[in-house]
Chains A and B, each alone.
Chain A
Amino acid sequence: MSLDLALSDITRIPGVRGALVVSRDDGLVVADALMEGVDGGAVAALAASLAGRMRGVTAVLGQPEPVLLTLGGTEGMLLLAPGQSGLLLVAVAGSDVNVAELRLSVLAAAGTTF
């Protein structure tokens, strides 16, 4: 599956404000599909940092790396799915999104794309 197709599978879900493929080491945007007003560079940098820290936490705990990270806020959420190829799939959604559908879509896109 191409990166654009993976992103469009996520952004078609109502309530999703954008999706990105991020380089995990650099925290830079590889591909994105974002609504206006979403700062892709900032999301990419912070998401990669968060994923890196969580990888460190699970390593200390002797556990495998998580396949999905969810960061919930008062006005929305961030879902991160680390891949095996040094990439990270990130979804930015409002609080009105169907979380179960978004989780499935992110995991499926990450599994078939990376």
Chain B
Amino acid sequence: MRAIERWVEVPLQTFLSESAARVTLLMTSSGQVVAQHGFTRSLDVMSAAALGAGILASTAELSRVMGTRPLDAVVHQGSAVGVYLAGFDTPRGRWLGLVVFGPETSLGLVQMFFARMVGDLGRAAPAEEPPRQVLAEDFEAELNSSLRTLFGR
């Protein structure tokens, strides 16, 4: 398990050990990865983050067209694995979680422990830091630093 922000580690690790999820990705609603477990290639993480954010954006738009409240979670249930994709609010803004789970656990357990992790993240989040300007010369270094954190390279 790797996280860009240290305070995410304990809630995510607790979720992973209790839910028995195989793969988990936490990201912002724009698809920026915050933490991941189970991915081995950065390309897979970036693709999954972009697709997950796109799916939830599509369902949000679908619910708007239907005139209903935004749908918070989407489940894709396959014969071998299931995918649980949910949006949630944190003190750091709206985040998304993508969880891949197998028959060794269940959707009910994943949902339950995911909800607990959301509560844990809300309690663990430090006070908001003042926004700082992102300079072009810092961007690549920060991006590389984030990728090293997520993949240990």
Contact with A along B18-39 (1 / 0, CB 8 A): 0000000000000000000000
Q: Is B106 an interface residue (CB 8 A)?
A: yes
**Main secondary structure on A side of the interface with B:** helix
Q: State whether the Cβ of B125 lies closer than 8 Å to any Cβ in chain A.
A: no
Cβ-based interface call for B46 (8 A): no
Surface stretch bound by B, among A11-19, A22-30, A79-87, A106-114? A22-30
Cβ B111 vs Cβ A41 within 8 A: yes
B111 engages A48 (CB within 8 Å): no
How far is A41 from B112 in the complex, measured between Cα atoms in Å?
Answer: 7
Closest CB of chain B to A60's CB: distance in Å?
Answer: 16
Q: In the assembly, what is the distance between CA of A23 and CA of B108, in Å?
A: 9
Question: In the complex, what residue of chain A is closest to B75 when comparing beta carbons?
Answer: A26
Q: Whole-angstrom distance between the alpha carbons of A22 and B108 in the complex?
A: 10
Which bracket fits the contact residues of B? Answer: under 10
Contact with B along A40-80 (1 / 0, CB 8 A): 01101110110010000000000000000000000000000
Taking a contact as CB atoms under 8 Å apart, the answer to whether A26 and B106 are in contact is yes
Q: Is B81 an interface residue (CB 8 A)?
A: no
Q: Considering residues A25, A27, A52, which has the most beta carbons from chain B within 10 angstroms of its beta carbon?
A: A27
> Is B107 part of the contact surface with A, judged by Cβ < 8 Å?
yes
Is B55 part of the binding interface, using a Cβ–Cβ cutoff of 8 Å?
A: no
In angstroms, Cα B9 to Cα A25, docked, is: 29
Q: Is the CB of A49 within 8 A of B106?
A: yes
Chain A residue with Cβ nearest B115: A41
Q: Is B51 an interface residue (CB 8 A)?
A: no
A24–B6 Cα distance when bound, in Å, is: 36
Q: Is B147 an interface residue (CB 8 A)?
A: no
Residues in A with CB closer than 8 Å to B62 are none
Q: Are the CB atoms of B107 and A28 closer together than 8 Å?
A: yes
Q: Does B109 contact A (CB under 8 A)?
A: yes
Q: Which A residues fall within an 8 A CB radius of B? A: 22-23, 25-28, 41-42, 44-46, 48-49, 52
Q: A42-B112, A49-B109 are in contact. List 13 more A-B contacts (CB 8 A).
A: A22-B108, A26-B106, A26-B108, A27-B106, A27-B107, A28-B106, A28-B107, A45-B106, A45-B108, A46-B112, A48-B106, A48-B109, A49-B108
Ordered nearest first, which 8 A-B pairs have the shortest CB separation?
A27-B108, A45-B108, A27-B106, A45-B112, A26-B107, A45-B109, A28-B108, A42-B112
